[in-house]
């Protein structure tokens, strides 16, 4: 079960995932950081990116902070790395 450490940036023009050269993960979210909308958008987007159900993506920490820890179940490490490959810069 991979655990993702990422930075979320709400109020972006589009929702997108970016993996930096140092391996850092940033997710730009179209949703505002209000009433949990950005977190819900983040979890739904990550489920879509990794091809798992929404219930397989859990926010472990960072509910009100930009830096978040997200667990993805039902995904092997190999599938996880393969899914991130298109987003690397």
| Calpha distance 9→6 (Å, rounded) | 10
> Which CATH number characterizes residue 53's domain?
3.30.1200.10
Please provide the DSSP assignment of 25-52 as one string.
EEEE-SS-SSTTHHHHHHHHHHHHHHT-
First to last CA, the chain: 24
Is the pLDDT score of 2 beyond 90?
Answer: no
Q: What is the pTM of this model?
A: 0.92
**Range of the structural domain that residue 30 is part of:** 3-87
Number of domains the chain is built from: 1
How many helices and strands (H and E) does the chain possess? 2, 5
pLDDT in tens, 30-68: 999 999 999 999 999 999 999 999 999 999 999 999 999
């Amino acid at each position: 079960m991979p655990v993702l450490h990422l930075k979320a940036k709400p109020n972006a023009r589009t929702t997108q995932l970016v993996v930096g050269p140092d391996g850092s993960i940033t997710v730009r979210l179209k949703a505002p950081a209000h009433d949990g909308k950005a977190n819900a958008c983040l979890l739904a987007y990550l489920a879509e990116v990794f091809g798992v159900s929404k219930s397989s993506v859990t926010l472990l920490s960072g509910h009100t902070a930009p830096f978040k820890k997200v667990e993805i179940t039902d995904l092997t490490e190999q599938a996880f790395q393969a899914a991130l490959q298109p987003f690397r810069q």
